[in-house]
Amino acid sequence: MIVNFTVVWCMPSVVMSPFFEELALTYPYALFLVVDVDEIK
């Protein structure tokens, strides 16, 4: 399982997003999760 913790105002998170999506397509049997920490209360 690979988890990407992200926020929309963080530039490294924005830059990493396409790379993370490509990894998910490259490795379809791995579980990829994206957690928007702004939404966690």
The residues pairing with 4 across neighbouring beta strands, listed in sequence order, are 34
Question: Given this model, what pLDDT does residue 39 score?
Answer: 67
Asked whether residue 41 is assigned to any structural domain, the reply reads no
Asked whether residue 23 is assigned to any structural domain, the reply reads yes
pLDDT per residue, tens digit, the chain (41 aa), is 999 999 989 999 989 999 999 999 999 999 999 998 886 66
Total domain count, the chain: 1
Residue range(s) defining the domain that contains residue 27 = 2-36
Asked whether residue 6 is assigned to any structural domain, the reply reads yes
Task: Say if strands 32-36 and 2-6 run parallel, antiparallel, or are unpaired.
Answer: parallel
CA 30-16-12 angle, 5° bins: 140
What's the token pair of residue 37? 């920490």
| Count of beta carbons in the 10 Å neighbourhood of residue 28 | 7
- Angstrom distance (rounded) from CA 27 to CA 10: 26
